[in-house]
Amino acid sequence: MTKFRIEKDTMGQVEVPADKYWGAQTERSRNNFKIGTPASMPLEIVYGFAYLKKAAAYTNTELGVLAEEKRDLIAQVCDEILEGKHDNQFPLVIWQTGSGTQSNMNVNEVIANRAHEIAGKVIGEGEKTIQPNDDVNKSQSSNDTFPTGMHIAIYKKIVETTMPGIIKLRNTLHDKAVVFKDVVKIGRTHLMDATPLTLGQEFSGYVAQLDFGLKALENTLAHLSQLALGGTAVGTGLNTPKGYDVLVAKYIAEFTELPFITAENKFEALAAHDALVETHGALKQIAVSLNKIANDIRLMASGPRSGIGEIIIPANEPGSSIMPGKVNPTQAEAITMVCAQVMGNDVAVTVGGTQGHYELNVFKPMMAANVLQSAQLIGDACTSFEENCVAGIEPNHTRIAELVSNSLMLVTALNTKIGYYKAAEIANTAHENGTTLKHEAVRLGYVTPEEYDAWVKPEEMTGGLK
Ligand SMILES: O=C(O)C[C@H](O)C(=O)O
């Protein structure tokens, strides 16, 4: 039998499970928003709150509006939250108020009750040692804390998970581009045979795509580093002591060891979440790149007998429950599914970004959760794709050579010697007769065998860019 205690808020009394630190407002949210339960508010956002609540307590004390003992209690609980000791105290869902007020109050209530316990008191008995609204939420509103928490969470996720994953994949693709620099293969445009290039050149294109993507993502960090805290309810900073916004951002930067600063314009920071739209735009760009790269790789690896088969990818697991010996490009399938999810999330983030009415954007939890999901998925998928697929890619030299020598588009090398029309006639005739280019070129009397061998050299058709 669950035991309950009574918690109060401005609307009255609420029964709360006795073994939980949360209070009346969290419990009301639990009861009023049974949407996609269990808890879906990302813990990263809760941790972002823990950093900012600790920073707010330090700033409030330094500016003379919070007693030192209260600061120390608040900071101690924030540290415990950051150590993961209270992960089960945050039961709320994304699908709640669009300001995230109930998650802000969830953090305030947990900090207050746990602080009461640390102070040697019994939760639910006597006056609270720390008040959730007056002490933990001092100089704050949900309207500036939630955007601050989400910026901290997303910034950390991008630098700790997303970028390292992309860089790891980028570096391995680069290593492969170097190793494959002399492997001449047939190019394809419109999915049809084209002139040759090297496998290294092809892979260097993938590297460049990811370099541009990384640059785009890095460029979004400046906007993400700007924090709304200090704006309070509508951006004016009502109920904050002078200098609070700059100092609280300084403390957040110190505690997170990341370059956070106070937002230049708090009205923008509360009412618009263009920073998230911008960041997700870069994540979408990377998803588009990854989708192209993974598709190329799985098509090049198709076969083994009836496909293109130009590269061999690691056989990590049996691919089929019914077809013995079948191996599938599962890593490419996983990463392209991630790309689809990220592209879908981009629509949600874009719609969310439009929902700023006057002084407040009210799609905060949904936007934050989607950006966090995309950032996590891209980082993890890049790491998985690198370790389980790209690192093990080997060229199938025999098949590559066979496809190059069979290609009719080698005839392009003759354009400058005999003209486009005669070259086209050679290609068309070879195709119709099922013969080789050389055979038809000589038979039609346009070149001698020696000229053909001297002029049609696939390795000299790759443009010298290695
Ligand atoms: O929760 C708050 O601090 C403010 C709330 O989001 C509101 O603007 O109504």
Distance in Å from the first CA to the final CA of the chain: 71
pLDDT value at 465 more than 70: no
139 ligand 1 Cβ < 6 A: no
Cβ atoms of 45 and 87 closer than 8 Å: no
Instruction: Work out the average pLDDT over 155-184.
Output: 98
DSSP state of 459: G
On the question of pLDDT at 322 being above 70, the answer is yes
CA dihedral 200, 201, 207, 212 (to 10 degrees): 170
Contact 55, 253 (CB under 8 A): no
Asked whether 201 lines ligand 1 (CB < 6 A), one says no
Would you state the structure tokens that stand for residue 78, as one six-digit string? 């924030």
> Is 252 within 8 Å of 152 (Cβ atoms)?
yes
**What type of residue is 198?**
T
Residue 344: the pLDDT is 98
pLDDT band of residue 175 (cuts 50, 70, 90) is: very high
**pLDDT score of 371 more than 50:** yes
Q: Which residues contact 63 (CB under 8 A, 6 or more apart)?
A: 241, 242, 243, 244, 247
- Stated as kind and residue range, the H or E segment containing 255 is helix 244-256
Compute the mean pLDDT over every residue in the chain, rounded to the nearest whole number.
Answer: 97
Give the C-alpha separation, 364 to 97, whole Å. 9
Q: Tell me, using a 6 A CB cutoff, whether residue 142 lines ligand 1.
A: yes
Residue 119 has pLDDT above 80, yes or no: yes
Interval 338-348 mean pLDDT: 98
Is residue 461 within 8 Å of 404, Cβ to Cβ?
A: no
Q: Is 331 in the pocket of ligand 1 (CB under 6 A)?
A: no
Question: What pLDDT is attached to residue 304?
Answer: 94
243 Ramachandran zone, left/alpha/beta (phi>0; psi -120 to 50): left
* Of the candidate ranges 114-118, 203-207, 279-283, 459-463, the one whose mean pLDDT is the lowest: 459-463
Whether residue 56 contacts residue 248, with contact meaning beta carbons closer than 8 Å, is answered with yes
In the residue annotation, 190 being an active-site residue is answered as: yes
Angstrom distance (rounded) from CA 30 to CA 102: 9
Q: Which of 205, 173, 193 lies closest to 461, judged by CA?
A: 193
Q: Indicate the pLDDT class of residue 1, thresholds 50, 70 and 90.
A: confident
User: Which residues, 6 or more positions from 236, have their beta carbon under 8 angstroms from its beta carbon?
Assistant: 266
Q: What is the mean predicted confidence (pLDDT) over 78-94?
A: 98
Residue-wise pLDDT tens digits, 372-422: 999 999 999 999 999 999 999 999 999 999 999 999 999 999 999 999 999
So what's the pLDDT on residue 2?
85
Give the pLDDT mean for 88-105.
Answer: 98
pLDDT at position 464, please?
53
pLDDT at residue 270 is higher than 50: yes
The radius of gyration of the chain's CA atoms, rounded to the nearest angstrom, is: 30
- Residue range 142-154: average pLDDT? 98
- Average pLDDT for 202-231: 98
Going by pLDDT thresholds of 50, 70 and 90, the confidence category of residue 466 is very low
How far is ligand 1, taken at its centre, from the CA of residue 370, in Å?
A: 22
Atom of ligand 1 nearest to the CA of 100: 6
Query: Is pTM beyond 0.90 here?
Result: yes
Instruction: Supply the pLDDT for residue 356.
Output: 84
Pairing state of beta strands 261-262 and 226-227?
parallel
Among 49, 109, 142, 148, the mutation site with the greatest number of ligand 1 atoms within 8 A of its Cβ is: 142
Percent of the chain with pLDDT over 70: 99
